[in-house]
Amino acid sequence: MSIVNPLTFFWLFIAVSLLLYKFNRKKTAKYIAILGAAQLFLFSVTPLPVFMIQQLEKQYPVYKGSKNEKLPIHILGNGHADDPSLYPTQKLSFQALERVTEGIRIYNYFNHTRISFSGFAVNKKEPTGNVMAKAAVSLGVSSKDTILFPAPRNTWEEAVAYKKRFGTKNKFILVTNATHMPRAMEVFRSMGMQPIAAPTGFFLKKETGYRYNWWPSTAKIIYTEAAAYEYAAQLYYKWFKL
């Protein structure tokens, strides 16, 4: 997601500014440099990044469910490292690990149910879905309850694979990060499926007291990167997929 990181744009603006300055376009160079500084200020100091994240994360509440409705669980992938010295839980990206732990929470709440994992092999070694399943099993999930989708490379393909395997008649719990949940729900629903959102990995937590403020923060840069990626992906899906 570095392409939508404010720091990436800042240094891009600075590089263009220096290049223009070298070719004696000093006035234009100054404006480009100011623009780069302005966007960095906007996305690392102002309350805007918090607002952007909040608009995504507030769309779906934490899943609480009902034990009278025991549903299957599907967890979307998010990458891992193929480091042979690490256990499966340690190989996962922090987003993937958040998704696995939330899936296990619901799995235990239901006193076991079908739990599936998706995610492809980025480096053509082991698929992320497999690593997520191994991590879940190491944390108490029964291997007989797990199902793998090792081929899907993105949210759209994950939805296609799930529909092909299970159809559209039955409800299921969809687990992914809170910022990603609005797009994931839209994609799965567009194919006629009946997902129930179980968001996790919230950036904004009320107990931290982190709300709107004007303090410079690297966290705001992270918020901007995550939110901008999702908004851009939503537009892409609406224009070319949905």
The domains of the chain, with CATH numbers, are 2-57+214-240 (no CATH), 73-200 (3.40.50.620)
**Closest by Cα among 46, 43, 40 to 12:** 40
pLDDT at 211 (0 to 100): 67
pLDDT in tens, 7-57: 999 999 999 999 999 999 999 999 999 999 999 999 999 999 999 999 999
- In sequence order, what E strands does 72-150 have? 73-75, 115-118, 146-149
pLDDT in tens, 156-204: 999 999 999 999 999 999 999 999 999 999 999 999 999 999 999 999 9
**Is pLDDT at 219 greater than 80 in this prediction?**
yes
State the amino acid at position 100 in one-letter form. Answer: V
pLDDT at 86 (0 to 100): 97
The CA distances from residue 54 to 4, 12, 107, 146, 196, in Å, are 18, 28, 27, 33, 20
